[in-house]
Amino acid sequence: MTDHRTVCETALETMGAFRSPWLRAAFRTIERTDFVPDRIWLITADDEGTYPLVDRAGDESAWLAAVWDPHRSVAIQLDDGDVAATGPASGDFTSSVSAPDIVFEKLNHLDLEPGHRVLEIGLGSGYHTALLCERGAQVTSIDIDPDLVDAATARLKRAGYPARTVRGDGLDGHPANAPYDRIIATASVRDIPDAWREQAADGAIVLTPFNTAFADGGLLKLRAQDGVLSGTVVGSASYMPVRAHRWHHRLPSPDAYVQSASPVDPARVLDGTWAQSFALGLRVPDIHRTCRTGEDGRQAQLWDTGGTSVTVVAYAGWSEEGAVTQWGPRNLWAEVVAAYTAWRTSGQPHVTRYGLTYDDTGRTLWLDAPDKPVRLPPDQ
């Protein structure tokens, strides 16, 4: 029989996931299977768009393989708990036990020391919390879902970990235990809430999966000093968004529109690497995009998060009048193209050269250093 735990450890070792020495000991000490429900969904849809359910009682080998898979998360909740774990299902994943590779990669960036006061945003199953506790941190973990809080609290108690668990909105932090030396999120955000900045001690690290409306999947590491958070994108991390940062389309009036040609092939702008898309997303922080192929061919749809404007761009015949259709006051495609041109002109910098600063005046994007701010559309 395959020793899935050993396979997982070997994979993590090969990836350099234990470069912070305490992580190897934590991996070996904590029994991951104690923090995963007996019924889980695999995050791989079948041909009918449903996600297979793996039941430990019915197929323990398959369950263990899923739990210890070093590169894949397993879902423990769909549609905020409205879908019962009784069989294959469809819906939106709203809680998971994250894959070991990204869990340990994130923790390497946290620079965690014994005694640190840690605020964890997203209690989930409790596995990540147990890792923090194993380091000797004083952990306050918050989750918005009461059922998840109750289940994870029970698991942590059985395992002997003294984390303080709280039911609440993680975007508000938890001022009762502030200030914190480390703030780490296990769900993605599109912006850093003021509460995290206000509850971070001087010298604190804030580490969170970070999305833009345009592209998901960044990992942002900020340092706190004198009420200011500043730092860089240090890599990629694909996580479910916090509930308040889920995307919802809002449509402007469809009665009036303007048509024009595109100055560039949309494929050049929209079909690049993840790093390109994320860099553009940092430059157009309030523009969301989707792509679809229908009877009229392939199209990109752009939406602004304020719900004022929509722009549709046709791939075929992109240089012809009518390829771009704009509803509302903003030509979102022109803004995206301006961001693309500015990114190309600046030498196509990788996402890890970008940083963000949060202070009392708001948010500033910069390239290479905080004193080199990036101009954003429509001015760039």
Question: Average model confidence (pLDDT) for the chain?
Answer: 93
Mean pLDDT of 300-305: 92
Q: Residue 136: its pLDDT value, please?
A: 97
Q: Residue 271: its pLDDT value, please?
A: 94
Mean pLDDT of 227-252: 81
Model confidence at 279, in pLDDT bands (50, 70, 90)? very high
236 is catalytic: no
Question: pTM of the prediction?
Answer: 0.93
Q: Residue 380: its pLDDT value, please?
A: 52
pLDDT at 238 over 90: no
Task: Sort 55 into a burial class: Cβ within 10 Å, 0-12 / 13-18 / 19+.
Answer: middle
Least confident residue range of 160-164, 165-169, 288-292, 373-377: 373-377
pLDDT at 78 over 70: yes
Mean pLDDT of 189-209: 97
Mean pLDDT of 192-197: 97
- Cα–Cα nearest to 99, from 78, 79, 70: 70
Model confidence at 46, in pLDDT bands (50, 70, 90)? confident
**Which one is predicted more confidently, 308 or 234?**
234
Question: 35 φ, ψ to 5°?
Answer: -115, 15
Which residues pair with residue 225 across a beta bridge?
228
Query: Tens digits of per-residue pLDDT, 89-131?
Result: 988 888 899 999 999 999 999 999 999 999 999 999 999 999 9
Q: Two tokens at 190?
A: 């599109």
Q: Residue 375: its pLDDT value, please?
A: 86
Query: Pairing mode, if any, of strands 324-327 and 354-359?
Result: unpaired
Mean pLDDT of 374-380: 73
How many angstroms separate the CA atoms of 263 and 123, rounded?
47
Which residues pair with residue 86 across a beta bridge?
none
**Which one is predicted more confidently, 294 or 379?**
294
pLDDT at 4 over 60: yes
Mean pLDDT of 294-315: 91
Sign, Cα dihedral of 282, 284, 287, 288: negative
Model confidence at 229, in pLDDT bands (50, 70, 90)? very high
Amino acid occupying residue 211: N
pLDDT at 206 over 60: yes
Q: Residue 254: its pLDDT value, please?
A: 64
Q: Residue 7: its pLDDT value, please?
A: 97
Which one is catalytic: 98, 125, 141, 262? 98
Q: How many CB atoms within 10 Å of residue 92?
A: 13
Query: Tens digits of per-residue pLDDT, 120-163?
Result: 999 999 999 999 999 999 999 999 999 999 999 999 999 999 99
Q: How many CB atoms within 10 Å of residue 228?
A: 17
Say which residue the tokens 């014994």 belong to: 114
Model confidence at 79, in pLDDT bands (50, 70, 90)? confident
pLDDT at 3 over 60: yes
Q: Residue 31: its pLDDT value, please?
A: 96
